[in-house]
Chain A
Amino acid sequence: MSVFIRAFEHRAVQLQVPRTLVTPHLMGRTIGPVGDRARQRAVVDAALELLEEATTGAALRRFAPPT
C-alpha cells in the first residue's frame, strides 16, 4: 500500500506499484497539511480501504477530499 502526491503519480505508474492512493497535496505533505488532523486521518482511512478492496495489481485511486 503506497501513498503518492499527484505530482508524482506518474512514478507510481512507471513502477507499477501494487496499490497506490494519490493525494491532492504538496510535496512534503503526502498525508495532508501540517496540523490538519481530519484530512490526515481521512487519507489513512482511504489508504486502508484501498488495501482491503484492491483485487489486482497496479490499482490506483485518487483521494477525494470530503466536501
Chain B
Amino acid sequence: MSEADEHHTEDTGADAAEQPMTMAAFRGSFYYGEHADLQFKYLAEFDDTRAADAIAEVLAMVGEVVDTGDLDALRSRLVELQVAGYAPSEPVEPSVDDAPFTPLSGPLAEQRLALITAGGVFDRDDDPMGPDGPTQEESLALIKDFLRGTPTLSTIAVDTPPERLTARHPGYDARTAQRDPDTVFPLTHLRAAAAEGRVQLADEHYAFTGATSQRRLEQQVAPRWAEHMAAREVDVVFLVAT
C-alpha cells in the first residue's frame, strides 16, 4: 500500500465517523461555505438532481479537454449553466421609473471617455482598503460587510500599466482580473482605440466593488462620482458590470 493510499484509508475512516454530507449541503457549500467557489456558487440554486447532473457533465467535459485542449465547448456549457443559475424566478420588469438617454454630443472621435468597472480593480500602490487590505480569499468572509458598506471609488491613471493593477471582490473570483485586468477593465484596449483616433480618453479611470450597498451606491455615492467625472469634462462613461 502506498503512502497516499494509507492517507486515503485514514481519511475514509475519519469521514465515516461523521455525518455524511447531503447533496443539498454539498451544493449549498459552494455559496460561501466549505467548498466556497465564486465561479460555481450558483449550484446552491439548483435542486439536487440538476446540481448532480451539472457537476457530472462538467467533469466529463474536463476529461475531454485534458485530451483535446479545446476549451470552447466547456466554456460555452459553463456560460449556459451560469445563465441558468442566475435566471430570475419571475418575469423581468423594469425596477426604475425612467430610462434616461443622452445622445452623443458629436462624433465619437471627439468624445472624452472614462472607463469604470464594478470589478474591484485597483492600483497595487493605492489599495482602497488600505495597505493591509484583505486578500481575495479573505474577502469572502467579509461579504456581509461589503454588502452593508459604502463603496469606494478607486482612481486609475490612464497610463497605468496592467501589471500595476490587481483586484479584490467578494462576489466573483477576482483572481481572473488579477491574472488579466482587461477581463473587466479593458483600459489596454481603449488606449489602443484612442491611439487609432476612435475616441478620446480622460486622464482618470475608475473602479469600485459592485458587492456593496446598492441603496448607498444609487442615492449617495454615484451622483457624487458623476459630478466628479463631469468636472473633468468626461463626455461618456464605459461601465463594465461584473
Bound complex: CA A35 to CA B169 (Å): 20
Query: What 0/1 pattern do residues 2 to 38 of A give for CB contact below 8 A with B?
Result: 1111111011111110100000111111111111010
| Least CB distance, A50 to chain B, in whole angstroms | 11
Q: Which one of A27, A31, A37 lies within 8 Å of B82 (CB-CB)?
A: A27
Known A51-B104, A55-B103, A57-B101; contact A30-B96, beta-carbon cutoff 8 A? no
For residue A6, which residue of chain B has the nearest CB?
Answer: B83
| Least CB distance, B7 to chain A, in whole angstroms | 34
Which chain B residues in 37-90 approach chain A with CB under 8 Å? 38-39, 75-76, 78-79, 82-83, 85-88
Bound complex: CA A57 to CA B190 (Å): 24
Q: Which one of B94, B186, B236 lies within 8 Å of A31 (CB-CB)?
A: B186
B20 at the interface (CB under 8 A from A): no
Known A3-B241, A44-B193; contact A28-B39, beta-carbon cutoff 8 A? yes
Q: Which one of B104, B108, B186, B198 lies within 8 Å of A40 (CB-CB)?
A: B186
Q: Are A8 and B86 in contact (CB under 8 A)?
A: yes
B127 at the interface (CB under 8 A from A): no
Bound complex: CA A5 to CA B92 (Å): 16
Bound complex: CA A16 to CA B25 (Å): 36
* Complex interface: stretch among B10-18, B26-34, B152-160, B172-180: B172-180
Bound complex: CA A39 to CA B94 (Å): 31
Contacts of A15 in B (CB 8 A): 94-96
6 nearest CB pairs, A to B: A57-B101, A16-B99, A57-B99, A28-B172, A44-B189, A28-B176
Sample of 28 A–B contacts (CB below 8 Å): A3-B241, A6-B83, A7-B83, A8-B241, A11-B241, A13-B94, A16-B94, A26-B75, A26-B78, A27-B39, A27-B82, A27-B173, A28-B119, A28-B169, A28-B174, A29-B184, A30-B183, A31-B184, A31-B240, A34-B179, A34-B180, A34-B183, A40-B183, A40-B189, A44-B190, A47-B238, A55-B103, A58-B99
Interface residues of A (CB under 8 A from B): 1-8, 10-16, 18, 24-35, 37, 40-41, 43-45, 47-48, 51-52, 54-58
